[in-house]
Every structure is written in C-alpha cells, then in structure tokens.
Amino acid sequence: MDLAVAVEETRVPKRPTTLAKEEDHETCNNSKVGNVNASDRHMPDSVTELTERVAALAKKAPRVPRSDTSKEPGYQELFVVEGDSASDAIRAVCDHDTQHVHAIQGKPMNVFRASEKAMRANDRVNGLFRRVMRTSNGSEADYVTFDRVILLTDANADGVHAKALLLGIFAEAMPDVIADGRLFTIRSPQFSISYAQSKKPVFAYSSEGRESVISQLADADATNIESNHFSGLASMSSDELVLAFTNPETRILSALDDTHVKSARSVFS
C-alpha cells in the first residue's frame, strides 16, 4: 500500500480514558529537544530482545490506555516531524496541553537493511524509542506513553521516503505501537486553493487534484480563486497548519498498520 495515498478518516475504537500528563515530555511551547549522546541512551542487545521485552511487558505492565478523542481527560499525542523548521512550525500552533513534538533531524535510518548493532547505536532510533516508550529504569519499555503517535513529513518524494523509514523504525523497535493501533499519519497537502466565498482553503495533494478543485470551484461560480504551492510544512501558514494537522475536527488521520509495514519492507529491505 502506497504511503503517499490518502485514506479515509480513521475511526478509533473506544478505549479507557485515563492518561497522566508526563512533565518530562517536551510540550509545544517548550524549547527544542537538545541532542543526547549515544552513551546517555540504551537499547536492548538485539532487535529480537527489544521486541520480546515490549511484547512481554505489554501483557503484564500497566500500559497506558488510549483515549478515544482529544476531548477526553488525559489525552496526549506526539507529532514526529521531519526537520527543525517543520517541527518548529507545528510546535507553534498545536495544543500545549495535549500535543507534543519530536523533531527528526536528518534522514531516518533504514532499519530494514541495518545490522542489529547499527540500529542499537543510532541516536535517532534511541531518541525516538525513549520518547515514545515510557521507561521506569531507562532501558526497558513499560508502556506506550501516548494515545496517538502521528508521523508528519513534507509532501514531496523525500518526505514520503522519510515517512516509510520512520514506519520501519516503529515496526522493528516499537511494534507494540502499531499493534495497539496508536501509529498514524496525516498526508501533507501540496497546494491550498482559496476563493472569495469561503474563509477556509481547500487542500489538494497533487497537481491533478489542484486542477480538479479549481475546476469544481469554477463550475460552482466561485470567484477570486487563488492557488498556493507549499514547498514544505514550514511554508504553510498557521491557519493552514491547524486545519491540516493539529485540529482533530478538520484533519484526516490515517492509521498505519502491518499492511503499510509490508509495503515499506518490500521497498527498503
């Protein structure tokens, strides 16, 4: 399944609703996360060991239940965003009480081809693991911290590539996040189309989609139709970022599951 293809809005099944806010997680109004040396992080001795620990602890540890919507008490979600500029843009507009940002600097590791030793030593993999999986002793994963983890990348080919590699990190290092239905993505728009009769823009996700939207608006007698191309998330306005990504009422979440993992694995392994 192509990760670049938009799917219908995911309806999350009902779950218990308590999730304590973690004070040690960066909220959207805090400064950027500093770099952490590899020596300050720890991963289990192999991918298999890590997977077994997560699976075993999932059965016995008090894993944080997932809330159904952002309106429920204790709800928390994490945006995993490619690049500092894009992560700063999302951080500036998201809900400081319920939404958090984790920036990925540079190209994510291809864990499908990497050795176990290389994956263990990778700062980006370790940093993402420590951010998503709540640990009591700095090494073993007790439970998934967030109700939803949402992957955000630019709309271009590099962004789709980065998203697939991030999916691989979750599949290899944090499979429980996928198995529990907590991993999502939101497809980034390439264009916004505005017109006089509405204060909200219409998003398009390809050049063909842009032409279709403009044609439909013209047929509906819309006036002052204007199109704007996004060079990346950081080029979007605050209002556009809220509509596309941070407002649960207007964004379209797509769940990532084993089908997407198999697709990414077939390309990158």
- Per-residue model confidence (pLDDT) at position 217: 93
Higher pLDDT, 2 or 152: 152
Report, as an integer, the average pLDDT of 154-158: 91
**What is the pLDDT, as a whole number, of residue 211?**
95
pLDDT tens digits, one per residue of 175-195: 889 998 999 999 999 999 999
pLDDT at 45: 44
**In which residue ranges of the chain is CATH 3.40.50.670 found?**
38-187+252-268
Write out the two tokens for 230.
């996004």
Looking at domain 38-187+252-268, its CATH class is: alpha beta
Distance CA 162, CA 148 (A): 19
